[in-house]
Amino acid sequence: MLKGNKSLFMVLVVALVVCFAGTAFAAPEISVKFAGQNPADHPATDVMNQIAAEVAEKSGGRIEIKVYPANQLGDYTLVFEELIRGTIEMACISVPSQFDPRLELVYVNGFVRGYDDVKKVFAPESWLFGKMSELIGNLEVKLLGFFVEGMIGTGSTKAAVDPLNPKVAKDVLVRVPNMDVYKLAAEAMGYRTVTIPYADVYQSMQTGVCDGVNGYPTAQAYTALRDVLKHWYATNYSMECLNIMFSGKAWKALKPEDQKIIQDAVSRGAAKSIEMAEETDAKYMQMMRDYGIEVHTYTQEELTPLAEACATTWEKLEKNMTKELMDEFRKNMAPGK
């Protein structure tokens, strides 16, 4: 009898295990493709994975977010188009300006001059967040948060001439993104510029098509270009900010409670990136030094001439970004505001 009871007990245990296992590993009700542009070992990809894990946990496995780093679903321009169409649901990418030049607003150079500015400028309640949310929303894409990576600098295969003096030609041809904000700022600081697709930057530096890059943050430069970099200039003239976005069509199809789960996870990841920006920069600059790259750092006072040179380009941005927007930008974002 005892043996029979024991057997029955084991059958019940196995049945319960199978039942719970079936619940834990049931096929998700919602599957979300989460596209990223950075390598798998990049801090942005780490945060994307953390968001996916939190959403899976908080939804009890009902929502599955699949992370695709390193442009696996296409570069950021293509991914943004797919967000508009609804064929990719979620992304942590640079926001392109081909649909609206005003989206370059988040990349204007010269207004972020230190890490203390970052916590104010990129917070969810900030003017910049509200304005970018409005502009992106006009394209049927929802802005969920900013991933703030760190300060932008210049990396090169050869030494720049008098890097802190914007009036001196640097004798370095740098690749810049295909945006006026970057081209004008780089040239204002004394660099010659060329536009090269993001995917071709490494090979272009390796073969001498260009001498360096302008517009890269420290972690991105290290993870993507460390084998070709010889110098890193921490010129801190802007802050790299990726946009964590959701397709408007896909967002509207979600239940309010599921929207909240995703938004909460993104908000936590974004806040963490803001808090970690300075530490992330320091970490990757040390990794650069350990790798043999010569790292040049400066005080905020030493960098003031470069920031002021970048600010001289703001008026030129009115042509594509409109005077109305740039007036609003100057009112809310000029240093000291």
295 to each of 33, 130, 155, 156, how far by Cα in Å? 37, 36, 9, 11
Distance in angstroms (rounded) separating the CA atoms of residues 45 and 68: 9
Q: Which residue has the higher pLDDT, 26 or 87?
A: 87
Question: Is residue 91's pLDDT more than 60?
Answer: yes
Question: Is residue 182's pLDDT more than 50?
Answer: yes
Triad 295, 301, 304: Cα angle to 5°: 90
Mean of the pLDDT values across residues 285-305?
96
- Residue-range domains of the chain with CATH: 30-333 (3.40.190.170)
Residue 173: strand pairing partners: 192
Taking 3-state DSSP, the helix, strand and coil percentages for the chain, each rounded to the nearest 5, stand at 50, 20, 30
Most confident among 41-45, 120-124, 242-246 (mean pLDDT)? 242-246
Q: Which one, of 321, 276, 330, 272, lies nearest residue 127 by Cα?
A: 330
The predicted model scores a pTM of 0.85
Q: 41-57, pLDDT tens digit by residue?
A: 888 999 999 999 999 99
Distance in angstroms (rounded) separating the CA atoms of residues 323 and 84: 27
Q: 56-67, pLDDT tens digit by residue?
A: 999 999 999 999
Lowest mean pLDDT among 111-115, 181-185, 186-190, 318-322: 111-115
